[in-house]
Chains A and B, each alone.
Chain A
Amino acid sequence: MEFRTFVFYFLAAILVVAGLRVITSRNPVHAALYLVLAFFTASGIWMLLQAEFLAIALVLIYVGAVMVLFLFVVMMLDINLDRLREGFWSYLPLGSIIALLMVAEMGLVLGGNYLGLFEVEVPQTSADHSNVQAVGRLLFTDYVYPFELASVILLVGIVAAVALTQRERRQSKAVSPSQQVFVKARDRYRVLQMPAEKKD
């Protein structure tokens, strides 16, 4: 067996196990960690395809940012597993229909070679070819409108997230550091002159 093939099967085995553990592990934090492992392994497989930019971006964005925030949320949840498992059988038909649909879609895409779906050949690149440059050039020439559209949608998402979570507190005790540094001693206390009281 060629070394490359060995690496592929090695990574693929880890990926499948990690994927299974994501849905079977009882602890949600463990599930999230297996998802991290799955992302990392998937990036290894992409690296085998010489898609170095996509592979590194997967680690940078999904492992480095998205899953961290995911873990933040999952760790603070108080999850009752027994209540989650209630009604497993009643949801099963709907769930299996969705699963079948997803398998069919993936089959169509993965079998694209046989079904003749691809309009463009998969490019064969040499090792000294910069992947990032090629992706960047395509994004800003051929796909500039979809790219800009995606960025506008993301921007709307950001603004919406801020708008939804921002709550003004009337009695906020936060102080502005820029005002803080201008405080003089006489703003803070007053010396009162009081007549001494007589002792009786």
Chain B
Amino acid sequence: MVDALQGFLQGLFGPVFPLVWTLLKIVLIIAPLLLAVAYLTFWERKIIGWMQVRIGPNRVGPWGLIQPIADGLKLLLKEVVIPTGCDKSVFLLAPMFAFAPALAAWAVIPFNDTLVLANVNASLLYIMSITSIGVYGIILSGWASNSKYAFLGGMRSAAQMISYEVAMGLALVVVLMVSNSLNLGDIVRGQGQGYFADRGLGFLSWNWLPLLPMFVVYLVSIVAETNRAPFDLAEGESEIVGFHVEYSGMAFAVFFLAEYANMILVSTLTSILFLGGWLSPVGFLPDGILWLFVKISAILFIFLWIRATFPRYRYDQVMRLGWKVFIPLCLIWLVVVGCWMMSPLNIWK
């Protein structure tokens, strides 16, 4: 069927066919992603509701399922207020800076052995560099709002994001050391072999077990990196004023879209780097894209679970955890894994 469609489009567009085909593939990734972002907000409210013995949204549509659409419509209809004295172009550019990297990173995510938009060699590096641009959205929105509260909030969360990026980067270095590749597909394939994988217990061969400290560091760092509770000092909706205090309507909503899109992205990355991507946990079940979705959903659930149960960190505690606990831990584990790989006990051959 795919071949027939490809042939039909080739006849229709002629020389510009490759461009059209790539655009089509991009749409096929982005559209479900945006839908997932919308329903992640709904799922979050439901889960937090259940954990607090409430019902959660249940008014709009059957079981409240139309709620995210209604929320989006409401935000679209609201006025985007542009404060006086702000830098208008930068003010409007900032939400795009926050959102675009979260979408662009999906170009190199492998969904299964063959299903990937761009199979590039340095895909992990690409993801690290693209996601590091997201921080501009936060600083620029803080500065362009021409408000001291927004400015301080922007500084606060930018500093937090940069700090945790270091720990995340070091954890990734350990993963690529044992995988001997920067290609996300190869990293997953590398997890599919080993002592346990040969005996049908694939989930014990994934990177999370031999690199357990890095897995924990990464899991906590992605929560801090996406500015989620208990590290949500960027927003703290009701208590501290954050970088998007001057934004309203859809401009404000784009920041939240970016946050949820980033959550899905980092969950996908964790599944690929530490939890074996599309690989099946046990030998008698086939590998497939479904496993990737199950793993992503499980990590997203952990995000929501943490938010519903933990109290917020204080700012100095956040910084202390990042700089004085995670970074030294990562550096030590880097040396440990390096020595491990050079010793006869090396399991990653």
A residues at B contact (CB < 8 Å): 27, 29-30, 33, 36, 52-53, 56-57, 59-60, 63-65, 68, 71-72, 75, 128, 130-132, 174, 177
Q: Are B136 and A52 in contact (CB under 8 A)?
A: no
Which 7 residue pairs of A and B lie closest in terms of their CB atoms, listed nearest first?
A: A64-B132, A60-B129, A59-B129, A56-B125, A130-B121, A75-B143, A56-B129
Q: Are B125 and A60 in contact (CB under 8 A)?
A: yes
Counting CB contacts under 8 A, is B90 at the interface? yes
Counting CB contacts under 8 A, is B151 at the interface? yes
Q: Are A29 and B90 in contact (CB under 8 A)?
A: yes
Q: Are A64 and B133 in contact (CB under 8 A)?
A: yes
Most chain A beta carbons < 10 A, residue from B136, B165, B317? B136
Chain B residue with minimal CB distance to A74?
A: B143
Q: Are B182 and A132 in contact (CB under 8 A)?
A: yes
* Interchain CA distance A100-B252 in the complex, whole Å: 48
Chain A residue with minimal CB distance to B314?
A: A177
Given known contacts A52-B120, A63-B132, A75-B151, A68 and B162 CB-to-CB distance under 8 angstroms:
yes
Counting CB contacts under 8 A, is B320 at the interface? yes
B residues at A contact (CB < 8 Å): 87, 90, 120-122, 125-126, 128-130, 132-133, 135-136, 139-140, 143, 151, 155, 158, 162, 165, 182, 316-317, 320
Enumerate chain B residues within 8 angstroms of A177, measured Cβ to Cβ: 317, 320
Q: Identify B125's interface contact among A27, A57, A75, CB under 8 A.
A: A57
Chain A residue with minimal CB distance to B142?
A: A75
Enumerate chain A residues within 8 angstroms of B126, measured Cβ to Cβ: 56
Q: List 13 other contacts, CB 8 Å, given A33-B140, A53-B125, A65-B132.
A: A29-B87, A56-B122, A56-B129, A57-B125, A60-B125, A60-B128, A60-B132, A63-B133, A75-B139, A75-B143, A131-B121, A132-B125, A132-B182
Most chain B beta carbons < 10 A, residue from A59, A68, A131, A177? A68
Enumerate chain A residues within 8 angstroms of B129, measured Cβ to Cβ: 56-57, 59-60, 63-64
* Interchain CA distance A53-B126 in the complex, whole Å: 9
Enumerate chain A residues within 8 angstroms of B155, measured Cβ to Cβ: 72
Enumerate chain B residues within 8 angstroms of A71, measured Cβ to Cβ: 136, 139-140, 143
**A151 CB, min distance to chain B CBs, angstroms:** 14
Q: Are A68 and B122 in contact (CB under 8 A)?
A: no
**B65 CB, min distance to chain A CBs, angstroms:** 39
Enumerate chain A residues within 8 angstroms of B162, measured Cβ to Cβ: 65, 68
- For the residues of A in contact with B, the DSSP-based class is helix
Enumerate chain B residues within 8 angstroms of A33, measured Cβ to Cβ: 90, 140
Q: Identify B122's interface contact among A36, A63, A128, A132, CB under 8 A.
A: A132
**A10 CB, min distance to chain B CBs, angstroms:** 15
Chain B residue with minimal CB distance to A68?
A: B135
* Interchain CA distance A132-B126 in the complex, whole Å: 12
Q: Are A72 and B121 in contact (CB under 8 A)?
A: no
* Interchain CA distance A60-B128 in the complex, whole Å: 7
A-B contact pairs, 8 of them (CB 8 A): A29-B143, A52-B122, A59-B130, A65-B132, A75-B139, A130-B121, A131-B121, A132-B125
Q: Identify A64's interface contact among B87, B135, B143, CB under 8 A.
A: B135
Enumerate chain B residues within 8 angstroms of A130, measured Cβ to Cβ: 121-122, 182
Q: Identify B158's interface contact among A63, A72, A128, A174, CB under 8 A.
A: A72
Q: Are B316 and A174 in contact (CB under 8 A)?
A: yes
Enumerate chain A residues within 8 angstroms of B143, measured Cβ to Cβ: 29, 71, 75
Enumerate chain A residues within 8 angstroms of B135, measured Cβ to Cβ: 64, 68
* Interchain CA distance A52-B120 in the complex, whole Å: 9
**B237 CB, min distance to chain A CBs, angstroms:** 25
Chain B residue with minimal CB distance to A129?
A: B121
Enumerate chain A residues within 8 angstroms of B128, measured Cβ to Cβ: 60, 64
* Interchain CA distance A132-B317 in the complex, whole Å: 37
Given known contacts A29-B143, A63-B132, A68 and B158 CB-to-CB distance under 8 angstroms:
yes
Chain A residue with minimal CB distance to B154?
A: A75
* Interchain CA distance A49-B87 in the complex, whole Å: 37
Chain A residue with minimal CB distance to B180?
A: A133
* Interchain CA distance A10-B248 in the complex, whole Å: 35
